[in-house]
Amino acid sequence: MDFLELEGITKEFPSRSGPPARVMERVSFSVREGEFMAVLGPSGCGKSTLLQMAAGLLPPSSGEARIGGRRVDGPPPEAVYVFQQYTRSLLPWRNVRDNVAFAVEHRIGRRRARAAAEVQLAQVGLAGFGDHFPWQLSGGMQQRVAIARALAAEPALLLMDEPFSAVDALTRLDLQALILDIWTQRKLTVMLVTHDVEEAIYLADRIAMLTRRPTTLAEIVEVGLPRPRDPIATRELPRFLELRHDLLGKLLTRHAV
Ligand SMILES: Nc1ncnc2c1ncn2[C@@H]1O[C@H](COP(=O)(O)OP(=O)(O)OP(=O)(O)O)[C@@H](O)[C@H]1O
């Protein structure tokens, strides 16, 4: 069953002089319940813009996003958004526990929110770090905190905007494995925006490929790799290499001026 539906989404931004700039044109695809969908496209094609429209943070110029059959016209209660810039999304004056509790304390009160935060922190491998402040942690650990905070709201849909792009290569593999674990355990629906071909193939069930601007949907690619996926062995499978070759080729051609 489709859980997140994007239908005929067009986005224009006003320009200072002249007609509005059209970033995206009639993009339509759906993410099934429990599916891991990656959105892949060249830099500046509008991936983040698309995700923000799905998250109700930005209205489309025409077309609509629906979650669970309901039109998105503000941040939907069943979805959370994980930003690329974790350093900006954590509150520097709150310790790690209170950063995570922040997601739910307005609903369940501070005491219960703190207890829930400890559970989420343990799940992302940060048990015992609740009293630390964000600036005392490495980049990868800070992004784990941001993930724990997203999970605290017990979302059905996780929307992630290049969540691993600001960390080093090894930490990135670690965080990818963490997200796959969480996705499997919680049966979440995920839409992850990335410009990293290998990341998209390694994580996703399907990949929505976007073109350069004015952006349209180029194709939906079925990944078809077995799960559970291993960070090393999966990347050596013939199917992985074939997809990598194919998608990189397409991205480079589409990227060429
Ligand atoms: N508020 C805005 N006003 C005007 N133009 C905007 C606005 N937000 C985004 N854009 C333009 O829309 C285009 C798409 O931006 P977006 O950040 O969604 O792309 P992206 O594919 O996520 O890029 P990257 O991979 O580099 O993060 C860019 O050319 C950007 O300049």
- For the cut 70, the answer to whether the pLDDT of residue 119 exceeds it is yes
Distance 49 CA to ligand 1 centre (A): 6
Q: How far is CA 186 from CA 123, 128, 147, 160, in A?
A: 11, 23, 13, 16
Nearest CA to ligand 1 atom 29: 44
pLDDT at 35: 98
* φ/ψ (deg, to 5) at 33: -60, 130
CB 120 within 8 A of CB 154: no
Fold of 1-78+194-257: Rossmann fold (3.40.50)
Nearest CA to ligand 1 atom 14: 46
Distance 46 CA to ligand 1 centre (A): 5
**What does the alpha-carbon distance between residue 114 and residue 180 come to, in Å, rounded to a whole number?**
25
Ligand 1 atom having least distance to the Cα of 58:
1
- For the cut 70, the answer to whether the pLDDT of residue 256 exceeds it is no
pLDDT at 106: 87
pLDDT, average across residues 237-253: 94
pLDDT at 165: 83
Percent of the chain scoring above 70 in pLDDT = 98
- Higher-pLDDT residue of 16 and 53 is 53
Question: Which of the four pLDDT bands, split at 50, 70 and 90, describes residue 255?
Answer: low
Question: In this predicted model, what pLDDT tens digit does every residue of 124-172 receive, in sequence order?
Answer: 999 999 999 999 999 889 989 999 998 998 899 999 999 888 788 888 8
Q: Cβ < 6 Å from ligand 1: which residues?
A: 13, 23, 41, 43-49, 195
- For the cut 80, the answer to whether the pLDDT of residue 82 exceeds it is yes
Return mean pLDDT, the chain: 92
220 CB neighbour count, 10 Å cutoff? 12
pLDDT, average across residues 52-63: 96
Ligand 1 atom having least distance to the Cα of 15:
4
**What does the alpha-carbon distance between residue 247 and residue 230 come to, in Å, rounded to a whole number?**
21
Distance 13 CA to ligand 1 centre (A): 10
CB 149 within 8 A of CB 100: yes
138 CB neighbour count, 10 Å cutoff? 11
Which DSSP letter does residue 136 get?
Answer: G
Question: Which of the four pLDDT bands, split at 50, 70 and 90, describes residue 254?
Answer: low
Listed by start position, the domains of the chain span 1-78+194-257
- Higher-pLDDT residue of 89 and 125 is 125
pLDDT, average across residues 82-99: 86
- For the cut 90, the answer to whether the pLDDT of residue 4 exceeds it is yes
Distance 47 CA to ligand 1 centre (A): 8
Which pTM does this prediction carry? Answer: 0.93
- Higher-pLDDT residue of 245 and 16 is 245
* φ/ψ (deg, to 5) at 30: -130, 155
Mutation probe of ligand 1 site: the residue of 10, 12, 13, 254 with most atoms within 8 A of C-beta:
13
Nearest CA to ligand 1 atom 18: 46
Q: At what angle do helices 169-186 and 139-152 cross, to 10 degrees?
A: 20
Distance 48 CA to ligand 1 centre (A): 7
Residue type, 223: V
Question: In this predicted model, what pLDDT tens digit does every residue of 195-231 receive, in sequence order?
Answer: 899 999 999 999 999 998 889 999 999 999 999 999 9
Residue type, 167: V
Distance 22 CA to ligand 1 centre (A): 11
pLDDT, average across residues 95-113: 91
- For the cut 60, the answer to whether the pLDDT of residue 115 exceeds it is yes
